[in-house]
Structure 1
């Protein structure tokens, strides 16, 4: 058997290399050997969320796996045929359930019948896309590409306690279709009337969320924007401050997770800084979503969007995709801070 060797140390050298490789290995039926897994991280090798992603992909396609243990820096994986159905994946820590989901969603999106997947673990940990981001920003774009999904939330899971639980129902499509995201939100209407400020709170005083909202209003000048402080019951204390900007197709969501010893005002300021950069660039897709749209667009065979300067995550993802698929992905700076990405 011939194995495609993927170097996990390439580019940003994190878990994304592994996740994209697993997804495309199954969809292209390419056996892979991934070496130097997460080599550029403080704790290299497979952590629980990465191992859960690997095992989830293996289970869904009935593949064979070598080296699938905690801490492993190398795996060999041979994919089988994707099977739709009911699945349940538990991380056991506050590791990101969303990243596990994004590994397997393209597999179930192109399956022959609907699937339902239950996830348990972290939903808001600050180091990965949150469940709010997944549901409000990522899934609407996939819907425009022909994929219908439904999210049902039982409980949220903040870092470090975790304990989140949610379910995704996937209605597959025969093929994904290209989509274009080129128009900035400013072309749709007045920004602050499209904007919403939200503080998610668990086992913490409401005043923290109220301070975050007040500070963000002041820094953005959004006197007319709607806002709320939402309380949840979770396994441990947690806070996620979010700024949302409604666009024609999806919501651009910016998030900052509260940390012990960091003031509410500082949390809001960090989040607002990213919002201002996005609005100044007048692009359609913020930096994190840009990275995550590459695999779906590559599978669709085309698509394009405007975004801010590509992150190392994004350029790394492009390099991994090209190791599996013969597709052009062109990234061009059209103007200062304004980039256009064209797939296909």
Structure 2
């Protein structure tokens, strides 16, 4: 059994999720110790426990330590079961992080799958649905598999109750090279509010516009309906010739609307100025499918501790090395060999 230290690197939930995903794909039993030791409240929170149980169901696994607050989990995978699965976090915990845990296994399954995921769809510290749909899944499609995502209902903290439907058509993961962004073709900023005053969205859009300096037609405001509880998100989408990137900022109690709009605009502006195709969060998401498939290379901004921790875990479990090389003041080249690369 392979032992993985959950406190390594940034010490968060991604070590747990990636360890479970790799265990399923490689059929390797794992023991994950000191789960989320780098967080203020270590151990399994609700969304992490849901991820463990989802992985166990998809992979017919034997699990110990699957309880709230648990800091050690053992996971013995069995056969991967494609088909129809429904997973509910039961809180506003991220549904997209649960998907992150089971998707790699379903990409290698012998049949297609349909998933219904319930929980948070737009959470701090997690990939929001817009990023998943517009940035990550299209690139996964270039590598071979077809994964379609539909947002049926928004889910914000603390009410949750969002719903996402996923269709997975598996295929071998091929090589991906993403070295140039190409010309920017479209810019779009959307400030959305649910069960909150509409002026919040207007202030956020105005704050983002001051930072970005784009034409007025690029900025939009939306009032969401059929949402449980209040919520707010500002999304910046930059569609270029070779890639689409999505940046988000989630509104929080006690944080002024202007701050929410400014911070996502500054992240997007830094991406534009770096003149690379891949942003910080997309870089992190691409490592796993590249490592499991034909590898590849991309150019990005400075890698985060999340990304370097992820790379170290992939090397430990798969023996796949990720090479990071700074090629400019704000640009980095990242290369992943891949387990099926020639």
Q: Deviations over 1:224-245 (max 9, x none)?
A: 5423222222111111011110
Cα offset, 1:125, TM superposition: 1.6
Whole-angstrom CA distance in 2 between matches of 1:152 and 1:338:
33
Matched, 1:4 2:2: yes
1:181 to 175, 178, 181: 178
Whole-angstrom CA distance in 1 between matches of 2:240 and 2:51:
31
Hey, what does 1:316 align to over in structure 2?
Answer: 309
Q: Deviations over 1:19-56 (max 9, x none)?
A: 11000011111111000000010110001111111111
Please give the secondary structure, in 2, of the residue aligned with 1:298: helix
Which runs of structure 2 are paired with 1:202-217 in the superposition (5 Å)? 202-217=194-209
Whole-angstrom CA distance in 2 between matches of 1:111 and 1:247:
32
Hey, what does 1:280 align to over in structure 2?
Answer: 273
Whole-angstrom CA distance in 1 between matches of 2:242 and 2:145:
14
Cα offset, 1:263, TM superposition: 2.0
List runs of 5+ in structure 1 lacking aligned partners. none
Q: How many residues align?
A: 336
Whole-angstrom CA distance in 1 between matches of 2:167 and 2:241:
24
List runs of 5+ in structure 2 lacking aligned partners. 338-342
Hey, what does 1:37 align to over in structure 2?
Answer: 35
Hey, what does 2:297 align to over in structure 1?
Answer: 304
Across the aligned residues of Structure 1 and Structure 2, the Cα RMSD in angstroms comes to: 1.2
Whole-angstrom CA distance in 2 between matches of 1:253 and 1:127:
14
Cα offset, 1:215, TM superposition: 2.0
Hey, what does 2:64 align to over in structure 1?
Answer: 66
TM-score, reference length from structure 2: 0.96
TM-score, reference length from structure 1: 0.95
Hey, what does 2:323 align to over in structure 1?
Answer: 330
1:229 to 216, 221, 232: 221
Whole-angstrom CA distance in 1 between matches of 2:253 and 2:47:
24
Whole-angstrom CA distance in 2 between matches of 1:225 and 1:271:
18
Please give the secondary structure, in 1, of the residue aligned with 2:327: strand
Hey, what does 1:199 align to over in structure 2?
Answer: 191
Please give the secondary structure, in 1, of the residue aligned with 2:7: coil
Whole-angstrom CA distance in 2 between matches of 1:222 and 1:139:
27
Please give the secondary structure, in 2, of the residue aligned with 1:65: strand
Matched, 1:134 2:126: no
Which runs of structure 2 are paired with 1:40-51 in the superposition (5 Å)? 40-51=38-49
